[in-house]
Amino acid sequence: MERRRFVMSSLIAGFTLATGGPTEAAITTPAAGLRAGPVQIPVSDGHLPGYYARPDLPGAAPIVLVIEEIFGVHEYIQDVCRRLARLGYLAVAPELYARVGDLSTMSDPQQIIHDVILRAPDAQMLSDLDHAAAWAAGQGGNPARIGCIGFCRGGRDVWLYAEHSTHLKAAVAFYGPVAGATSAIQPKTPLDLAAGLHAPLLGLYGGQDRSIDLADVQRAAALARQAGQTVEIVSYPDAGHGFHADYRASYNEKDAVAAWARAVDWLRGHGV
């Protein structure tokens, strides 16, 4: 049954095909001194493949859920987990699209969007993230200190998860739309649900990103603030979409470094 439900039973090896391979700027964070590697995360209908990293030290580490781009939990997302582990976190990235399509074989971003991303129910995504947090708590993570960070489509999902989970302490969205088309399986946008935000949220956006309307982002932030929540939106004027993705041509090192430092400060400053 699990083989029929889960198209992807393991993670992408190396970098995704869909962006043409890594650039020379791609960062490699060593796993020495960490516990890190692929895992199988129990969820409602089987097991999701995922990647985790944490310090190889005793004690309960704060948990960070890492939410992928549309390209899967490939080497970039795995490296982000190791970067967080080197800062003391237990970071885990579940492959949220494992049921829908095999991202390791897809080289066309439009195919990924239409055949995979738009066919993945939001309710399932939120449930899977809840299960990933529970798995992390069972692996020595601190369930009282949970944060999440996501990139691209994962930035959108950060907003939705922060509007869903009452256990989240802090959230960081690297770009990601807050408005757009809805469907029966993706019925609400982050903007629709912004007044119900449960956790302080930091949004990091590129001023040159033509795929995201910053006015929508500011509207969502304003609705959350009116409801009493803490939201900070930062726009980097020279950055485009994917400016943190060091393996892609979109990478903007100066803004990526600044945004990462701000993201870590946000997590730490809000109890994670």
Burial 74-105 (b: 16+ CB within 10 A, else e): bbbbbbbbbbbbbeebbbbbbbbbbbbbbbbe
- Please say whether the beta carbons of 61 and 267 come within 8 A: no
Q: Which positions are annotated as active-site residues?
A: 152, 209, 241
DSSP category for residue 11: P
Beta strand extents in the chain (DSSP E only) = 34-43, 46-55, 61-67, 90-94, 141-151, 168-174, 201-206, 231-236
Query: Among the residues of 143-252, which ranges form H helices?
Result: 153-164, 214-226
Tell how strand 168-174 and strand 90-94 pair up.
unpaired
Packed helices 153-164 and 122-138: angle between N→C axes, nearest 10 degrees: 80
- Please say whether the beta carbons of 213 and 220 come within 8 A: no
CA atoms of 110 and 103, how far apart (whole Å): 12
